[in-house]
Structure 1
Amino acid sequence: MEAAINTIVTQFKVYAGNDESSNTLSKDEFHNLVTSQLPNCVKNASDPGAIDQLMRSIDENNDGELTFSEFWQLIGKLACKQGGFSQ
């Protein structure tokens, strides 16, 4: 499990590091991460409108960027869905 956590953290940092803020994902960075790394886990991953809606739904402070904590909630939801666990 440690390797899985390290991979998630590393990938977040790789995608978040594409602009001036390496601690958050911008809309474009989030879109790139989802389409590249989660195309089979996120419904309609190829639809920019769906990705925007997904981002808004997990952007708790509505600042247009995702912190790792906000992103982590998505990972938890996807893991629950993948594992067949109720939320």
Structure 2
Amino acid sequence: MEPAINTLISHFKTHAGKEGTASTLSKEEFHNLLVSQLPTFVKNSNDPAVIDQLMGSLDTDNDGELTFLEFWQLIGKLATKQGGFSQ
């Protein structure tokens, strides 16, 4: 599991910081990460309304950017669904 965690961190860091701070994802950076790394897990990721809704649901402090912890919520939700653990 350690390589998987390192991969997630690496992809987050690769996409973060192109706009704004290096430790968060802007909406555009988040969109680019979804399209390039989660194209089949996040349906309609090219729809701005989908990105707005998803970003809003993850951005717990409402600052318009996602910290790694906020982003991690999405990974947990996707893994839960993919693994068939959803209730």
For residues 27 and 39 of structure 1, the distance between their equivalents in structure 2, rounded to whole angstroms, comes to 16
For residues 47 and 40 of structure 1, the distance between their equivalents in structure 2, rounded to whole angstroms, comes to 14
Please name the residue that 1:15 is paired with.
Answer: 15
For residues 65 and 82 of structure 2, the distance between their equivalents in structure 1, rounded to whole angstroms, comes to 25
1:19-64: CA deviation from partner (whole Å, max 9, x where unpaired) = 2411000011001101111110012112122011100111001110
Unaligned ranges ≥5, structure 2 = none
Query: CA-atom RMSD, angstroms?
Result: 1.0
Write out aligned runs for 1:42-81 (5 A): 42-81=42-81
Whether the 8 Å CA contact 1:39–1:46 is kept in 2: the answer is no
Runs of 4+ in 1 over 4 A off after TM superposition: none
Answer with 16-25 or 2-11: which moved more: 16-25
Residue identity (%): 68
Unaligned ranges ≥5, structure 1 = none
More strand by share: 1
Aligned residues: 87
Please name the residue that 2:33 is paired with.
Answer: 33
TM-score by length of 2: 0.94
Please name the residue that 1:86 is paired with.
Answer: 86
